[in-house]
Structure 1
Protein backbone atom coordinates (compact mmCIF):
# COMPACT_ATOMS: atom_id res chain seq x y z
CA UNK A 1 0.00 0.00 0.00
CA UNK A 2 1.23 3.50 -0.78
CA UNK A 3 -0.04 7.06 -0.50
CA UNK A 4 0.87 9.60 -3.15
CA UNK A 5 0.87 13.37 -2.75
CA UNK A 6 0.76 15.42 -5.93
CA UNK A 7 1.08 19.15 -6.25
CA UNK A 8 2.53 21.80 -8.51
CA UNK A 9 5.43 24.15 -7.83
CA UNK A 10 5.54 26.90 -10.47
CA UNK A 11 8.21 29.57 -11.01
CA UNK A 12 8.55 32.18 -13.74
CA UNK A 13 10.92 35.08 -14.31
CA UNK A 14 11.18 36.82 -17.70
CA UNK A 15 14.77 37.91 -16.96
CA UNK A 16 15.74 34.33 -16.19
CA UNK A 17 18.77 32.97 -14.39
CA UNK A 18 21.38 35.26 -15.88
CA UNK A 19 23.37 35.03 -12.64
CA UNK A 20 22.77 34.15 -8.97
CA UNK A 21 21.57 37.63 -8.05
CA UNK A 22 19.37 38.22 -11.10
CA UNK A 23 16.39 35.94 -10.66
CA UNK A 24 13.43 35.94 -8.29
CA UNK A 25 13.06 33.13 -5.81
CA UNK A 26 9.28 33.62 -5.66
CA UNK A 27 7.15 30.64 -6.66
CA UNK A 28 3.68 29.24 -6.03
CA UNK A 29 2.82 25.85 -4.54
CA UNK A 30 -0.63 24.58 -5.47
CA UNK A 31 -2.78 21.48 -5.30
CA UNK A 32 -6.24 20.75 -6.61
CA UNK A 33 -8.94 22.08 -4.30
CA UNK A 34 -6.60 24.02 -1.99
CA UNK A 35 -5.53 27.65 -1.76
CA UNK A 36 -2.17 28.42 -3.31
CA UNK A 37 0.82 28.96 -1.08
CA UNK A 38 3.28 31.74 -1.92
CA UNK A 39 6.83 30.47 -1.53
CA UNK A 40 10.33 31.87 -1.80
CA UNK A 41 13.75 31.08 -0.42
CA UNK A 42 14.91 32.23 2.99
CA UNK A 43 15.94 35.89 3.14
CA UNK A 44 19.54 34.71 3.73
CA UNK A 45 19.39 33.13 0.27
CA UNK A 46 17.94 36.21 -1.50
CA UNK A 47 14.31 35.29 -0.89
CA UNK A 48 11.22 37.29 0.03
CA UNK A 49 10.74 37.19 3.83
CA UNK A 50 6.99 37.74 3.39
CA UNK A 51 6.63 34.33 1.70
CA UNK A 52 6.96 30.83 3.14
CA UNK A 53 10.30 29.14 2.52
CA UNK A 54 10.94 25.38 2.27
CA UNK A 55 12.80 25.31 5.58
CA UNK A 56 9.81 26.80 7.41
CA UNK A 57 7.49 24.38 5.65
CA UNK A 58 9.61 21.40 6.74
CA UNK A 59 9.49 22.55 10.38
CA UNK A 60 5.73 23.15 10.03
CA UNK A 61 5.24 19.66 8.54
CA UNK A 62 7.02 18.08 11.50
CA UNK A 63 4.90 20.09 13.94
CA UNK A 64 1.63 19.30 12.15
CA UNK A 65 2.46 15.61 11.95
CA UNK A 66 3.23 15.44 15.67
CA UNK A 67 0.01 17.32 16.48
CA UNK A 68 -2.16 14.96 14.47
CA UNK A 69 -0.38 11.84 15.77
CA UNK A 70 -0.63 13.15 19.35
CA UNK A 71 -4.38 13.84 19.07
CA UNK A 72 -4.88 10.28 17.81
CA UNK A 73 -2.84 8.84 20.69
CA UNK A 74 -4.73 10.97 23.24
CA UNK A 75 -8.12 9.91 21.88
CA UNK A 76 -7.07 6.25 22.01
CA UNK A 77 -5.91 6.70 25.63
CA UNK A 78 -9.09 8.48 26.72
CA UNK A 79 -7.26 11.75 27.41
CA UNK A 80 -9.38 14.76 26.46
CA UNK A 81 -7.19 17.40 24.82
CA UNK A 82 -8.91 20.76 24.44
CA UNK A 83 -6.07 22.86 23.02
CA UNK A 84 -2.63 22.35 21.48
CA UNK A 85 -0.17 25.03 20.41
CA UNK A 86 3.38 24.37 19.24
CA UNK A 87 6.31 26.73 18.81
CA UNK A 88 8.75 24.54 16.85
CA UNK A 89 12.30 25.60 16.12
CA UNK A 90 14.51 24.20 13.38
CA UNK A 91 18.26 24.67 13.21
CA UNK A 92 20.32 24.48 10.01
CA UNK A 93 24.10 24.36 10.06
CA UNK A 94 26.81 24.52 7.43
CA UNK A 95 28.21 21.12 6.49
CA UNK A 96 31.88 20.28 6.04
CA UNK A 97 31.41 20.38 2.25
CA UNK A 98 30.02 23.95 2.41
CA UNK A 99 26.36 22.97 1.96
CA UNK A 100 23.58 23.42 4.50
CA UNK A 101 21.40 20.86 6.25
CA UNK A 102 19.10 20.63 9.22
CA UNK A 103 20.91 19.71 12.42
CA UNK A 104 17.75 19.43 14.52
CA UNK A 105 14.15 20.41 15.09
CA UNK A 106 12.67 20.87 18.56
CA UNK A 107 8.92 20.85 19.07
CA UNK A 108 7.49 22.77 22.04
CA UNK A 109 3.84 21.68 22.23
CA UNK A 110 1.66 23.30 24.88
CA UNK A 111 -1.18 20.89 25.54
CA UNK A 112 -4.33 21.70 27.51
CA UNK A 113 -6.30 18.77 28.85
CA UNK A 114 -9.74 18.66 30.44
CA UNK A 115 -9.53 17.87 34.15
CA UNK A 116 -6.38 16.85 35.98
CA UNK A 117 -3.17 16.83 33.98
CA UNK A 118 -2.24 13.34 32.87
CA UNK A 119 1.26 12.04 32.17
CA UNK A 120 1.43 12.90 28.49
CA UNK A 121 5.01 11.72 28.02
CA UNK A 122 3.98 8.31 26.68
CA UNK A 123 1.48 9.95 24.30
CA UNK A 124 4.17 12.28 22.94
CA UNK A 125 6.49 9.29 22.56
CA UNK A 126 3.84 7.37 20.63
CA UNK A 127 3.08 10.43 18.49
CA UNK A 128 6.76 10.81 17.67
CA UNK A 129 7.03 7.15 16.73
CA UNK A 130 3.88 7.34 14.58
CA UNK A 131 4.70 10.63 12.81
CA UNK A 132 5.41 9.85 9.15
CA UNK A 133 7.45 12.99 8.64
CA UNK A 134 9.69 12.55 11.72
CA UNK A 135 10.32 8.96 10.66
CA UNK A 136 11.50 10.23 7.26
CA UNK A 137 14.09 12.86 8.16
CA UNK A 138 17.81 12.28 8.76
CA UNK A 139 18.18 14.63 11.74
CA UNK A 140 16.91 14.47 15.34
CA UNK A 141 13.43 15.73 16.16
CA UNK A 142 12.88 16.18 19.88
CA UNK A 143 9.78 17.09 21.86
CA UNK A 144 9.81 19.38 24.91
CA UNK A 145 6.13 19.47 25.96
CA UNK A 146 4.27 21.71 28.38
CA UNK A 147 1.01 20.49 29.95
CA UNK A 148 -1.78 22.79 31.08
CA UNK A 149 -4.96 21.97 32.96
CA UNK A 150 -8.22 23.57 31.95
Structure 2
Protein backbone atom coordinates (compact mmCIF):
# COMPACT_ATOMS: atom_id res chain seq x y z
CA UNK A 1 0.00 0.00 0.00
CA UNK A 2 1.29 3.44 -0.91
CA UNK A 3 1.52 5.92 1.94
CA UNK A 4 0.94 9.52 0.96
CA UNK A 5 2.55 12.49 2.68
CA UNK A 6 1.59 16.12 2.21
CA UNK A 7 3.78 19.18 2.69
CA UNK A 8 1.75 22.37 3.04
CA UNK A 9 3.61 25.63 2.65
CA UNK A 10 2.60 29.27 2.34
CA UNK A 11 4.36 31.78 0.09
CA UNK A 12 3.49 35.41 0.84
CA UNK A 13 4.62 38.16 -1.52
CA UNK A 14 6.03 41.14 0.45
CA UNK A 15 7.38 43.15 -2.48
CA UNK A 16 4.66 45.72 -3.12
CA UNK A 17 6.42 49.12 -3.25
CA UNK A 18 3.11 50.98 -3.27
CA UNK A 19 2.01 50.54 -6.87
CA UNK A 20 1.83 46.76 -7.09
CA UNK A 21 2.90 45.22 -10.38
CA UNK A 22 2.20 48.38 -12.39
CA UNK A 23 5.52 47.86 -14.20
CA UNK A 24 8.31 45.29 -14.39
CA UNK A 25 10.67 47.49 -12.34
CA UNK A 26 7.97 48.75 -9.96
CA UNK A 27 7.86 45.81 -7.55
CA UNK A 28 10.28 43.76 -5.50
CA UNK A 29 10.50 39.99 -5.84
CA UNK A 30 10.63 39.64 -2.05
CA UNK A 31 8.47 37.01 -0.40
CA UNK A 32 8.38 34.74 2.62
CA UNK A 33 8.12 30.96 2.69
CA UNK A 34 6.53 29.45 5.77
CA UNK A 35 5.34 26.04 6.86
CA UNK A 36 3.68 26.44 10.25
CA UNK A 37 6.53 25.61 12.62
CA UNK A 38 9.99 26.16 11.15
CA UNK A 39 11.40 29.68 10.87
CA UNK A 40 10.21 31.74 7.94
CA UNK A 41 12.58 31.70 4.95
CA UNK A 42 13.06 35.10 3.30
CA UNK A 43 12.89 34.59 -0.46
CA UNK A 44 13.36 36.55 -3.65
CA UNK A 45 14.28 35.79 -7.23
CA UNK A 46 17.80 35.19 -8.50
CA UNK A 47 19.65 38.55 -8.66
CA UNK A 48 19.86 38.00 -12.44
CA UNK A 49 16.07 38.46 -12.44
CA UNK A 50 15.93 41.57 -10.23
CA UNK A 51 16.04 39.61 -6.97
CA UNK A 52 17.56 40.46 -3.62
CA UNK A 53 20.89 38.60 -3.23
CA UNK A 54 20.50 38.53 0.58
CA UNK A 55 17.42 36.28 0.28
CA UNK A 56 17.06 32.66 -0.81
CA UNK A 57 15.87 32.09 -4.37
CA UNK A 58 13.91 29.07 -5.63
CA UNK A 59 16.88 27.71 -7.56
CA UNK A 60 19.06 27.67 -4.44
CA UNK A 61 16.26 26.02 -2.47
CA UNK A 62 15.95 23.26 -5.09
CA UNK A 63 19.69 22.54 -5.02
CA UNK A 64 19.61 22.65 -1.22
CA UNK A 65 16.67 20.22 -1.09
CA UNK A 66 18.54 17.74 -3.31
CA UNK A 67 21.66 18.04 -1.16
CA UNK A 68 19.72 17.63 2.10
CA UNK A 69 17.75 14.64 0.83
CA UNK A 70 20.90 12.87 -0.39
CA UNK A 71 22.69 13.51 2.90
CA UNK A 72 19.80 12.23 5.02
CA UNK A 73 19.41 9.09 2.87
CA UNK A 74 23.17 8.55 2.95
CA UNK A 75 23.53 8.92 6.72
CA UNK A 76 20.69 6.44 7.25
CA UNK A 77 22.32 3.91 4.94
CA UNK A 78 25.68 4.37 6.65
CA UNK A 79 24.11 3.81 10.07
CA UNK A 80 22.41 0.56 9.03
CA UNK A 81 25.52 -0.68 7.17
CA UNK A 82 28.07 -0.14 9.94
CA UNK A 83 29.80 2.88 8.36
CA UNK A 84 30.48 5.46 11.07
CA UNK A 85 30.39 8.99 9.63
CA UNK A 86 31.77 11.78 11.82
CA UNK A 87 31.59 14.69 9.35
CA UNK A 88 29.70 15.50 6.16
CA UNK A 89 29.69 18.67 4.10
CA UNK A 90 28.33 19.03 0.56
CA UNK A 91 29.20 21.91 -1.74
CA UNK A 92 26.50 21.24 -4.32
CA UNK A 93 26.14 23.17 -7.58
CA UNK A 94 23.09 23.38 -9.81
CA UNK A 95 23.21 24.50 -13.43
CA UNK A 96 20.23 26.14 -15.07
CA UNK A 97 19.89 27.01 -18.75
CA UNK A 98 17.89 30.14 -19.45
CA UNK A 99 15.84 29.78 -22.62
CA UNK A 100 13.47 32.04 -24.50
CA UNK A 101 10.46 32.39 -22.23
CA UNK A 102 11.79 30.29 -19.36
CA UNK A 103 14.53 27.91 -18.44
CA UNK A 104 15.33 24.57 -16.83
CA UNK A 105 17.95 22.88 -14.73
CA UNK A 106 20.40 20.84 -16.76
CA UNK A 107 22.00 19.09 -13.79
CA UNK A 108 22.92 19.25 -10.13
CA UNK A 109 26.26 17.95 -8.91
CA UNK A 110 26.58 16.96 -5.27
CA UNK A 111 30.11 17.00 -3.88
CA UNK A 112 29.89 15.52 -0.40
CA UNK A 113 33.05 15.36 1.67
CA UNK A 114 32.54 12.52 4.13
CA UNK A 115 34.74 11.56 7.07
CA UNK A 116 34.54 8.01 8.42
CA UNK A 117 36.24 6.55 11.49
CA UNK A 118 38.21 3.66 9.96
CA UNK A 119 40.02 2.93 6.68
CA UNK A 120 38.09 -0.30 6.12
CA UNK A 121 34.86 1.75 5.92
CA UNK A 122 36.00 3.97 3.05
CA UNK A 123 35.05 1.69 0.15
CA UNK A 124 31.58 0.98 1.52
CA UNK A 125 31.15 4.68 2.35
CA UNK A 126 31.83 5.57 -1.28
CA UNK A 127 29.52 2.88 -2.66
CA UNK A 128 26.59 3.91 -0.47
CA UNK A 129 26.25 7.20 -2.38
CA UNK A 130 24.66 5.35 -5.31
CA UNK A 131 22.14 3.72 -2.95
CA UNK A 132 21.44 7.08 -1.30
CA UNK A 133 20.77 8.62 -4.71
CA UNK A 134 18.19 5.94 -5.49
CA UNK A 135 16.59 6.38 -2.04
CA UNK A 136 16.35 10.18 -2.23
CA UNK A 137 12.73 11.26 -2.70
CA UNK A 138 13.69 14.62 -4.20
CA UNK A 139 16.20 13.21 -6.72
CA UNK A 140 13.55 10.72 -7.81
CA UNK A 141 11.18 13.60 -8.51
CA UNK A 142 13.25 15.79 -10.84
CA UNK A 143 13.68 15.44 -14.60
CA UNK A 144 17.37 16.32 -14.83
CA UNK A 145 20.51 14.42 -13.80
CA UNK A 146 21.68 14.61 -10.20
CA UNK A 147 25.28 13.43 -10.07
CA UNK A 148 27.44 12.89 -7.03
CA UNK A 149 31.20 13.22 -6.72
CA UNK A 150 31.94 12.13 -3.16
CA UNK A 151 35.26 12.44 -1.40
CA UNK A 152 35.80 10.00 1.46
CA UNK A 153 38.27 10.76 4.24
CA UNK A 154 39.33 8.70 7.22
CA UNK A 155 39.42 10.51 10.55
CA UNK A 156 42.86 10.96 12.03
CA UNK A 157 43.49 8.69 14.99
CA UNK A 158 45.13 10.00 18.14
- TM-score normalised by L of structure 1: 0.95
Match among 69, 73, 76 for residue 65 of structure 1: 69
> What is the alpha-carbon distance in structure 1 between the residues aligned to residue 75 and residue 53 of structure 2?
32
- The partner residue of 1:5 within 7, 19, 33 is 7
Report the equivalent of 2:38: 34
Matches within 5 A, 1:99-138: 99-116=102-119, 117-119=121-123, 120-138=125-143
Which residue in 2 is equivalent to 1:43?
Answer: 47
Q: Aligned partners of 1:99, 1:39: CA distance in 2, in Å?
A: 19
Structure 1 residue ranges, 4+ long, deviating more than 2 angstroms after superposition: none
Deviation at 1:19, TM superposition (A): 1.5
* SS of equivalent to 2:106: strand
Distance 2:93 2:45 in 1: 17
User: Unaligned regions of 5+ residues in structure 2, if any?
Assistant: none
Match of 1:79 in 2: 83
Over residues 31-90 of structure 1, what are the superposed CA-to-partner deviations in whole Å (9 max), with x where a residue is unaligned?
112111100000000000000000000000000000000001111110000110000000
Secondary structure in structure 1 of the residue aligned to 2:83: coil
Q: How far apart are residue 121 of structure 1 and its match?
A: 3.0
Q: Shift of the alpha carbon at 1:94?
A: 2.5
CA RMSD of aligned residues (A): 1.1
Contact residue 116 and residue 152 of structure 2 kept, 8 A = yes
**Which 5+ residue runs of structure 1 have no aligned equivalent?**
none
